[in-house]
Amino acid sequence: MQLDFHYYATYCAAFLSGYSHEESIRIAYCAQFVDNCSRRYLARIKGPRSAASTQTQIELADAPADPIGLQDIVRIWAPFHFLPYDLYAPVKGVRSYKNKYRLICRPNGALVKDTVELAKGRSLEAAGVAMHVLADTWAHSYFAGVPSLVINNTNDYFYEILPGGDRKVNFRSSVSKPDDPEKGDYTGSLFQPNENSIMNLGHGRAGHFPDYSYARYKYMPAWADYDEIVKDNPSDYMHAFRQMVYAMKYLRGEHDTFTLSTYDTETVSEHEEELMSIITKRQTLASNDWKAFGEKLSGREIPDFDVNAFADEYMAAAKDDKDETVFGRFILAVLAQKSMVVGKIFSSGNLLAGFSVDYSKKGFRGIQDFAALIEARMEEMKK
Amino acid sequence: MTTVKRIENILIGLLMIFAAVAIIIRPDEGYAFVVGILGLSLLVIGIKTLVYYFAMAIHMVGGKMILYEGIILTDLGLFSSSLATLPKAYVMIYLVLYNLIEGGINVMSAMESKKQGAPWKKKMGEGLLNIAFAILCIAMGGSVNIMVEVYAAGMIISAISRIAKAFRKTAIVYIQ
């Protein structure tokens, strides 16, 4: 998903679930900031590098394809953008194939529940991070947050389903040309026969096309044994929106439990027609429409997303006070999510995300950046 | 990273440094060594591709192309290994392209870091060194000694990087 959904649509969902305008802005900001918090950005604000929740194109181009480099990529892309659906999925093949297959993302997996529950009782920033992860499970279905030709490759059989009939999607590798929904021309990554090439990360081969809410398409994923998959983004985006409203009502305490495959129907229903008109409009960025809808809901102006909105606050804070800033709380939420998902992947016997040390059993043995998270949890326990 | 993998990385790194020093001291044999490595590389890549097909790509839609690629590369590797000598031009092209691509990526990465206010000088230095190697290869196109030394320098850098990686902390903390 893109800024239109992560920022503006998340604002709308937060407001509909009962958060105030200011709280909704904070949640939406953090949901979008997950796509901006790279190591380079963290270096600039002097934050912990392990809190990176994304990698820039250049960082990816520079990423080594050795086991450590791959683990680093998985630690960023699986917890935040391609949440694995079933870490124990039954599948035939050697271990290296099984491990990658089990990282395929889909909505309503056990880790979605873990993600939302992890944010319960914590900060607005944690809610924002959780909403990013939840929303991406819908747009990024059937792709995995690990470079893999055998999982993420797409081939010539890729058609957009249009009212007048199917049209083959023309994927090209020219990044200078913008995607053209009218002609059906989209930019995708170059075919690379190397299993671990960065070109084969997530939905890179299909470019941004899976991120467009209007897209209805059918294709044959590399892993699906020649079975055709039909992806209906308008329906999925509506499900994502309803699930965000439901999840945030849970975070606010309106529901005692968070149940998978449950969606808010009451609150959203009265806006369904308007929402569908935004979602199905053929445009590569729907920010203006979502913004107008959000402003109509709250009667307040939604500021444009400014990546540096809270940077000065974080940099100016004394070392001991950083965790009390917006970025400080965001960083703790990112570390917690990363720690949880990597821990679950490791516990499943899958080493693609690297090693994870269970603090409750073995104490602190890991990367020093996570000490801040442990200290924060200890503070919580004292309270 | 497992302890075994760490030890393996350190040993391979030390062996690479040893080999690099050896080919600098004896450049004529060094050239034969470089050529041998290139031929052997094709063979190894071919076999690896075949193993990859039977382990993983066999499950993939359109995976047969990997099988064909593996067969062709293995065949090429066997053919190249059977040649007594390889024209110097091939070795030069390999060295120049490798260093130019690596250098370009490093420089772009450094510029991106600089734009965002992040540390960038180390990366820029690495990139410029790569590009300097490439230019050196072109400028000294006829000299076997220089070419072998450039190759050896690349090996030493890779070896140091491999050894450094073996000491990196890799586990993150899992908190319930």
Whether residue B57 lies inside any domain: the answer is yes
Residues 6+ apart with CB under 8 A from A140: A81, A82, A105, A202, A203, A210
The pTM for the full model equals 0.81
Q: Which of B5, B113, B171 sits opposite A40 (nearest CB)?
A: B113
Q: Work out the angle at residue B38's Cα, subtended by the Cα atoms of residues B32 and B39, and round it to the nearest 5 degrees.
A: 90
**Cβ pair A244, A137 in contact under 8 A:** no
Question: What is the pLDDT confidence band of residue B35, given thresholds at 50, 70 and 90?
Answer: low
Quick one: closest CA in B to A377, which residue?
Answer: B175
Least CB-CB distance to B105: which of A62, A67, A220? A62
The per-residue pLDDT for B174 is: 57
Please give the pLDDT value at position A80. Answer: 97
Please enumerate in sequence order all residues whose Cβ is within 8 A of that of B28, keeping only pairs 6 or more positions apart, or say none: B144
Q: pLDDT for A272-319, tens place per residue?
A: 999 999 999 999 999 999 999 999 999 999 999 999 999 999 999 999
Q: Give the total number of structural domains in chain B.
A: 1
As a whole number of angstroms, the distance between CA A360 and CA A347 comes to 14
Residue B118 to residue A44, Cβ atoms within 8 A: yes
Does residue B81 lie within any of the structural domains?
yes
CB pair distance less than 8 Å for B56 and A342: no
Please state the rounded mean pLDDT for residues B142-153: 74
Q: Is the pLDDT of residue B106 over 50?
A: yes
A47 to chain B: closest CA residue: B118
Confidence class for position B141, pLDDT limits 50, 70, 90? low
Partner-chain residue, chosen from A96, A150, A374, that has the shortest CB–CB distance to B175: A374
Confidence of residue B123 (pLDDT cuts 50, 70, 90): confident
Residues of B in contact with A223 (CB under 8 A): 59-61
Looking at this predicted complex, what is its ipTM?
0.74
Inside any domain, residue B14: yes
Residue with the bigger pLDDT between B31 and B162: it is B162
**Beta carbons of B119 and B112 less than 8 angstroms apart:** no
Which one-letter amino acid corresponds to residue A187? T
Q: Which domain holds residue B112?
A: 3-166
Mutation pick from A355, A362, A365 vs chain B, by most beta carbons of B within 10 Å, is A355
Contact A377, B175 (CB under 8 A): yes
Mean pLDDT of chain A: 93
Q: Which residues of A322-338 are buried (b: 16+ CB within 10 A; e: fewer)?
A: bbebbbbbbbbbbbbbb
Beta strand pairing call for A158-162 and A165-168: antiparallel
Q: Given B52, B108, B117, which is nearest A44 (Cβ)?
A: B117
For A358, the closest chain B residue by CA position comes to B174
| Chain B residues close to A379, C-beta within 8 Å | none
Contacting A with CB below 8 Å, chain B residues are 1, 5, 52, 55-57, 59-63, 65-66, 69, 105-106, 108-109, 112-113, 116-119, 123, 165, 168-176
Q: Which residues of B touch A40 (CB under 8 A)?
A: 112-113, 116, 118
Nearest 10 degrees: Cα torsion A6, A12, A13, A14: 100
B-chain residues within 8 Å CB-CB of A354? 170-172
pLDDT above 80 for B90: no
Q: Residue B42: is its pLDDT beyond 80?
A: no
CA–CA distance, A341 with A347 (Å, rounded to integer): 10
**What is the per-residue pLDDT for A202?**
94
Query: What are the chain B neighbours of A50 within 8 Å (beta carbons)?
Result: 172
pLDDT band at B176, cuts 50/70/90? very low
DSSP string, B41-96: HHHHHHHHHHHHHHHTGGGSTTTHHHHHHHHHHHHHHHHHHT-S---HHHHHHHHH
Please report the pLDDT score of residue A201 as a whole number.
Answer: 93
CA distances from A12 to A202, A233, A260, A337 (A): 27, 19, 21, 24
Q: At B117, is the pLDDT very low, low, confident or very high (cuts 50, 70, 90)?
A: low
Whether the CB-CB separation of B32 and B161 falls below 8 Å is answered with no
Question: Tell me, what's the pLDDT at A175?
Answer: 72
Partners of B163 on chain A (C-beta within 8 Å) are none
Most confident of A303-312, B52-61, B86-95, B112-121: A303-312
Cβ <8 Å between A43 and B113: yes
The minimal CB distance from A68 to the residues B1, B60, B108 is found for: B1
Note the pLDDT of residue A365.
78
Positions in chain A short of pLDDT 70: none
Q: What is the pLDDT confidence band of residue B2, given thresholds at 50, 70 and 90?
A: low
- Chain A neighbors of B52, CB-CB under 8 A: 195
8 Å CB contact between A74 and A352: yes
The pLDDT of residue B5: 74
pLDDT digits (tens, 9 = 90+) for A154-179: 888 999 999 999 999 998 877 778 89
Residues of A in contact with B108 (CB under 8 A): 58, 61
Residue reference for tokens 């649509």: A9
Looking at per-residue confidence, does B150 or A199 come out higher? A199
